[in-house]
């Protein structure tokens, strides 16, 4: 499992080091920042999933935020 995680991390890091400079050379700074952020998040989540760590649902924070708003709108 460790070899799989290291391989996954290596692949994403190499791909990021190839893609980000090419985006920066085309003067796409915002796209490079978004790409780097998404790759960082996917690196962390993917590594945890490969390690079979139970990750809580990403729906819960949105439910906590939007449920009171929805209830307020339905009362009106």
**Alpha carbon distance 9, 47 (integer Å):** 7
5's tokens: 């995680």
Q: Is pLDDT at 22 greater than 90 in this prediction?
A: yes
Instruction: Decide: 66 and 59 in contact? Cβ < 8 Å.
Output: no
Instruction: Decide: 1 and 32 in contact? Cβ < 8 Å.
Output: no
Instruction: Decide: 55 and 63 in contact? Cβ < 8 Å.
Output: no
**Alpha carbon distance 31, 76 (integer Å):** 41
pLDDT digits (tens, 9 = 90+) for 30-73: 999 999 999 999 999 999 999 999 888 878 888 889 999 999 99
**Alpha carbon distance 58, 36 (integer Å):** 20
């Amino acid at each position: 499992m460790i070899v799989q995680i290291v391989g996954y991390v290596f692949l994403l890091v190499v791909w990021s080091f190839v893609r980000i400079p090419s985006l920066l050379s085309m003067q796409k700074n915002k796209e490079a920042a978004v790409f780097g952020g998404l790759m960082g998040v996917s690196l962390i989540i993917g590594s945890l999933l490969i390690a079979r760590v139970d990750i809580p649902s990403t729906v819960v924070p949105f439910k906590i935020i939007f449920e009171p708003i929805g209830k307020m709108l339905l009362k009106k």
